């Protein structure tokens, strides 16, 4: 079943401690527990910790042919991983996620964002105009729902679109037109900033690659797309501290990442202010 390694009081926790002989059985039991509860490829599950009994604090993730586990309870220092064989179902999942994307056609009633002054005002206020003018992002206007529309694309293919309401009477505030779980990317820099919404991703894209979750659940998002970056700065809303820390631990297996605590959303800052906020916290 590959190389098995078990980490206690190690990794980011400081000095390692030798595993006591009396704990050997505990290690074997943990191994069996993980084998019995392992998820499918690219899936992460959260269950009660078999070591400290913490409620929903123990995560098991299967990705890139490895099982990774970690308890988020501060007093429990269980964390580790092992290589594992891929099942036929895992291989099918990898192929589908890599080569197949749900077809998405932009509605033919979308028009140029320049056709609506409210849309342009929104983009200016949220520091998105540079991304539009430099063609780092495809941004349109939906006249039926009165929304600024950010297109989720890789430059050659459209995967989805998400629209921001310009009218308080139009809900929800953010509306996803397709069914993909793709993230929104804007820019092409080696350092990335992970944010909640597309406007914030556009605002940072002059000096960083902006990446927006678009409301996608961490368990459903294809976060492996982030492994190409030198470092990922996690800049979510101030009230999403737990989510930010969970993301950092999850991403730590594939890319260098850190959490930046914000007082305000990055889209309200100009690019120099954004750079100052990012680098002074790291």
**CATH: 3.40.50, 1.10.760, 2.30.30, 3.40.1580. Which one for 111-280?**
3.40.50
pLDDT at position 142 is 97
Domain ranges (residues) in the chain: 4-99, 111-280
d(CA 246, CA 265): 20
**Contact by Cβ (8 Å): 219, 43:** yes
**Contact by Cβ (8 Å): 179, 193:** no
Strands 78-83 and 4-8: antiparallel
pLDDT at position 96 is 52
| 10-residue averages of pLDDT along the chain (282 residues) | 32 34 62 83 82 87 79 84 68 52 83 96 96 96 97 88 95 92 93 96 96 79 83 88 86 89 89 91 69
Compute how many other C-beta atoms are within 10 angstroms of the C-beta atom of residue 236: 22
pLDDT at position 91 is 56
Q: What are phi and psi of 199, to 5 degrees?
A: -60, -45
pLDDT at position 10 is 29
pLDDT at position 140 is 97
> Degrees (nearest 5) of the Cα angle 95, 222, 65?
55
pLDDT at position 229 is 95
Element (H, E) at 273: helix 271-280
Contacts of 159 (CB under 8 A, 6+ apart): 101, 102, 104, 152, 153, 178, 180, 182
């Amino acid at each position: 079943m590959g190389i098995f390694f078990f980490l206690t009081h190690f990794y980011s926790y400081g000095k390692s401690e030798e595993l006591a002989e009396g704990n050997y059985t505990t290690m074997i039991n943990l191994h069996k527990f993980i084998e019995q509860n392992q998820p499918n490829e690219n899936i992460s599950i959260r269950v009660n910790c078999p070591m400290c009994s913490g409620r929903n604090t123990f995560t098991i993730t299967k990705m890139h042919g490895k099982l990774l586990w970690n308890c988020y309870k501060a007093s429990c220092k269980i964390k580790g991983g092992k290589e594992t064989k891929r099942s036929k179902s895992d291989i099918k999942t990898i192929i589908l996620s890599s080569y197949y994307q749900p077809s998405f056609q932009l509605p033919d009633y979308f028009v140029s964002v320049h056709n609506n002054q409210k849309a342009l005002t929104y983009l200016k206020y949220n520091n998105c105009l540079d991304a539009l003018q430099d063609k780092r992002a495809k941004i349109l206007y939906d006249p039926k729902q009165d929304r600024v529309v950010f297109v989720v694309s890789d430059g050659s293919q459209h995967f989805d679109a998400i629209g921001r309401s310009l009218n308080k009477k139009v809900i929800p505030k953010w509306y996803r037109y397709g069914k993909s779980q793709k993230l929104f990317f804007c820019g092409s820099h080696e350092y990335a900033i992970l944010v909640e919404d597309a406007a914030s991703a556009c605002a940072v894209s002059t000096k960083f690659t902006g990446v927006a979750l678009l409301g996608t659940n961490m368990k459903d998002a294809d976060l492996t797309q982030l492994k190409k970056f030198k470092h990922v700065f996690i800049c979510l809303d101030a009230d999403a501290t737990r989510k930010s820390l969970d993301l950092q631990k999850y991403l730590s297996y594939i890319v260098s990442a850190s959490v930046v605590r914000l007082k305000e959303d990055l889209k309200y800052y100009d690019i120099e202010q954004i750079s100052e906020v990012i680098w002074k916290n790291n």
